[in-house]
Structure 1
Amino acid sequence: MTVEIDMGTTRAGATAPLDLEELLATRLLVQGNSGSGKSHLLRRLLEQSAKWVQQCVIDPEGDFVTLVDQFGHVVVEADRSETELTRIAGRVRQHRVSAVLSLEGLDTEAQMRAAAAFLGGLFDAEREFWYPMLVVVDEAQLFAPAAAGEVSDDARKLSLGAMTNLMCRGRKRGLAGVIATQRLAKLAKNVAAEASNFLMGRTFLDIDMARAGDLLGMDRRATEMFRDLARGQFVALGPALARRPLPVIIGPVETSARSTSPRLMPLPEAARGEEAADLIFTPGADEDLRVPPRRPAQPAPRPTADILAQLSAPVPQPQRETLFPEIDEAERDALIAAVLSEILEDPEASYRSVAVLYQDFLVRCRIRRVPGAPPDLSEFKRRFSVARAGIDSQTAQSETWQKALGLANELSEDVQGVFLLLARAAVDGLPCPSDASLARAYGSHSAGRARRLLTYFEERDLLVLRDDFSGRRIAAFPDLACETAAGDPNAPADTPGRDAAE
């Protein structure tokens, strides 16, 4: 048997029927801005179908409780525990009683939890009670939001899961979802996509008009009509309504909502001057004079810079007692110097990359149990350059050598070792290193590159080169007031640290 209910008229004056049995199988989505007549449409649908099918209304504002007197709905106040609401919903299905779940007076999160519990009770009813039921959800974007809002994730997941079950899996359990929303963009897509029937009302935002046009199969230009729809006018499409987009005008209703749209009315004849002030500032005879408790003042928010500074501050570590006595810095430096000497004993060490040498250095420090944090890469380069120069402990403490280190710090790290090798020869009065020795200190086999480095140092006025009568090279350091002995530039490379060891 086909049951059609009258939703109103078309623009041509014909009746706009809705196939109720088809609606139970294909579900309905209603969309329209505030004031477009969504609640009026839902009320018309509920009134026309009340004698044919069991109904349940999820009512956020308590507008549909007026169905009680004329159509026998039972109002379920939502200020109960979630377990109690679930059990009541099960009894609603068992006894086939139409009900209105009134969520009025609850905050948003409490409304979502109550609606999820009630819908869950309807969905989880025993199979023998799977009678056809029309489940109408007003303001569906509250219960199936497209994005996370100010409510907790737990409440949002519960509510969204219940709405998804209603629209995706409810048909086999006899539940036919009818959801109404102000904005399609705020409604979860997986919930809206399950509806096959649509009633699209007035809307103004491009994103909502585009989504409504996609659902109705309309091109972008045709969606402009949604701006021109009057209150109570909707465009219908779906197997239960029309095979092509059909503008309909929703018919009148028998009941009315408790809350109505505001209407202009003349102001009362109010007293003026002192009389008006007395009316406002003088309490009435039946007025509660108790002072409502004030909320405690909220502390001023901390600046973001202070929070970041606190998070980045080092956490003080408790002092731990060690089983072994701490090694002083002098002994630690001696161990590090010994590790560097071991590395320099390898003839190929000077030709390896700094990264390889540093990894070898870290491993050797662990083997020798060097206490404390190992030197970083920059400190390692400096220490390795000094060790490669072969400076003894006495010379390292001299004022001249400290000045040489200061000059080396002005150079790039890759040439500091070459400069210190020359400076060490000058401080100790040793022969000027050969090109091969300088190239080795630079990590290269090219004697020409070593000579270019000497030219670079001379151009920066760090040293002055001259030859004696035998053609041997002497390097003088004006800032250090010393010079090297004459040395053969073509001699083979010396073993690093050999002179210092001797």
Structure 2
Amino acid sequence: MKVGIDMGAAMTAGATGASAMLDLEELLATRLLVQGNSGSGKSHLLRRLIEQSARWVQQAVIDPEGDFVTLAERFGHIVVNADEHSEAALQSVAARVRQHRVSVVLNLEGLDADMQMRHAAAFLGGLFDADRDHWYPMLVVVDEAQLFAPSAAGEVSDEARKVSLGAMTNLMCRGRKRGLAGVIATQRLAKLAKNVAAEASNFLMGRTFLDIDMARAADLLGMERRTAEMFRDLERGHFIALGPAISRRPLPLRIGAVETQGRAGSPKLMPLPDTPLEDARELIFKPGEPEPPRLPARRPSTSASADLLAQLSRPRPLPVEPENEGAAPALPMEEPETPEQAAERKAAYEAILREVLADPEAPYRSIAVLYQDFLVRCRTQGVRGELLELPAFRRKLAAARAGAGDGTEENPAWAKATQVAATLPEDIQVVFLLLARAALDHLPCPSDAEVARACGSRSRGRARRLLTYMEQRGFVATRSGLGNTRSIALPALGWETALGDPNADPNADDGSEGPEDGGLFATA
């Protein structure tokens, strides 16, 4: 069935005002790429396409800014708030979306860039991996696609970038046979991964100003480069279209009106409030009542490898003696461990964990890999490593990366810090413990490089984002000092670090020091 979607008015000399129709069935087979600078009307174009095709095809919108949630009331889209679901839950939601043919908007608003990439990848993976019986046609609209398929590594983690880029590549390269038609919008083609952009056969190019972007847009549309400057003069909402779904020749068009509006809208000028100077000063500098820190429940791990290692690490159940006389004799039951043996095993755990973390690359490996290395070393030394299960190993590893060691666990103050840390999201627990250790020992505030290394990254930018995230949610409070120094307070504990340089580079700290050097297992 051929369905034409009215995208607006064609602006050619011979057909000014005529409707620019888009063949929806052809679009499902050939995909669409939209480019335009911020403010060129990309979101308006996507909204027009979604509204006009809502009654004909199932839709899924990947919305990083929460701009398309207004479609729900008018067109019946279900809004899926990503911050309320784990990655595994989003995969299940996506599978049921395809099964029941429901149009949805995945709202990623409120998540940082790293988590947006992970949650979007999980949702797209659920759509892609749906059962063959549920491969119904679906339009998958991704706004700001350069966030999920960047052309170069940024300040997000390599793991998040890898899974997100893989999901976007599957959507654009392999999604057609599964009924998925990608519609992606980006501010610049240079920001978008080439293997994602290259799979689109339809293009809508809006206003852009950089010479390289104008030249690439002209090349994609088969236009001469001397005419590329026309993209600089396009008005808001005006695009040049080309592709089998809309026009075989470059077609200027003006996008038509839409029935719904984004929540933010375009900024409008308005007069400043007429507030006296003294009143304004009081409003700004008046101290507010301190709010209690919000401690969200920790999200359970969704790593398949971590779950598998947890199952493998559980001790085998002890054999039960048979009640029947003719049954085979039971294996001898192990004797209970004495306090001395437990202390020896604990000391062996500390020594083996030192060996694991002595590797300079250990801070940047996943917990599952480190735990596997720990179990292997335990077996080679005749120590029952399986008695330290994965959750306990994770806590011990976080404490070790934070600088805690022998004797610290018996400190009641440190026990309180670990209890508070256990209520935080898993990826920031080690940062909280690192700050708690510095505050407990009245040490200078850890630098951005130390925070990044503690959370398994080399990116200082990621460390700064984590600290900002923690401060916005009341986990920490930062105070600036003289000479570009800072201290960080922990409201839940009532502790504060000494002033320290955030730009310090502890390059001598490679993770291989012993207790005498004040390394990972230095005593309190």
Using the size of structure 2 for normalisation, the TM-score is: 0.56
SS in 1 for 2:225: coil
Deviation at 1:302, TM superposition (A): 4.2
Query: What residue identity is the alignment partner of 1:294?
Result: A
Deviation at 1:289, TM superposition (A): 3.8
Distance 1:96 1:215, change over 3 A: same
Query: What residue identity is the alignment partner of 1:9?
Result: A
1:175-218 Cα distance to aligned partner (Å, 9 max, x none): 00000000100000010000000000000011111211111111
Q: CA RMSD in A?
A: 1.9
* Corresponding residue of 1:10: 10
1:60 aligns with 2:67: no
1:42 aligns with 2:46: yes
* Corresponding residue of 2:231: 226
SS in 1 for 2:146: helix
Query: What residue identity is the alignment partner of 2:62?
Result: I
Structure-2 separation of matches of 1:8 and 1:214? 24
1:122 aligns with 2:127: yes
Structure-1 separation of matches of 2:291 and 2:264? 30
Q: 1:299 aligns with which of 493, 501, 506?
A: 501
1:138 aligns with 2:143: yes
Structure-2 separation of matches of 1:298 and 1:36? 45
Query: What residue identity is the alignment partner of 1:13?
Result: G
Deviation at 1:222, TM superposition (A): 1.0
Structure-2 separation of matches of 1:300 and 1:184? 35
Percent identity of equivalent pairs? 73
Query: What residue identity is the alignment partner of 1:114?
Result: H
1:297-353 Cα distance to aligned partner (Å, 9 max, x none): 5535446xx958x99xxx9xxxxxxxxxxxxxxxxxxxxxxxxxxxxxxxxxxxxxx
SS in 2 for 1:243: strand
1:74-118 Cα distance to aligned partner (Å, 9 max, x none): 001112211100000000000000000000000001000000000
* Corresponding residue of 1:399: none
Structure-2 separation of matches of 1:100 and 1:23? 20
1:58-85 Cα distance to aligned partner (Å, 9 max, x none): 0000000000001000001112211100
Structure-2 separation of matches of 1:298 and 1:74? 48
Query: What residue identity is the alignment partner of 1:183?
Result: R
1:373-421 Cα distance to aligned partner (Å, 9 max, x none): xxxxxxxxxxxxxxxxxxxxxxxxxxxxxxxxxxxxxxxxxxxxxxxxx
Structure-1 separation of matches of 2:45 and 2:249? 20
SS in 1 for 2:141: strand
Structure-2 separation of matches of 1:307 and 1:20? 57
Distance 1:9 1:274, change over 3 A: same
Structure-2 separation of matches of 1:201 and 1:101? 25
Distance 1:275 1:300, change over 3 A: closer
> Which structure is larger by alpha-carbon Rg, 1 or 2?
1
1:407-464 Cα distance to aligned partner (Å, 9 max, x none): xxxxxxxxxxxxxxxxxxxxxxxxxxxxxxxxxxxxxxxxxxxxxxxxxxxxxxxxxx
Unmatched runs of 5 consecutive residues or more in structure 2:
293-473, 479-487, 489-498, 515-524
1:172 aligns with 2:172: no
Q: 1:235 aligns with which of 240, 252, 257?
A: 240
Query: What residue identity is the alignment partner of 1:263?
Result: K
Using the size of structure 1 for normalisation, the TM-score is: 0.59
Structure-2 separation of matches of 1:298 and 1:196? 54
Deviation at 1:275, TM superposition (A): 3.1
Structure-2 separation of matches of 1:31 and 1:20? 20
Structure-1 separation of matches of 2:262 and 2:170? 29
1:204 aligns with 2:209: yes
Structure-2 separation of matches of 1:29 and 1:118? 21
Report matched runs for 1:12-411 at 5 Å. 12-79=16-83, 80-271=85-276, 273-282=277-286, 288-290=289-291, 293-295=476-478, 296=488, 298-302=500-504, 307=507
Report the count of equivalent residues: 305
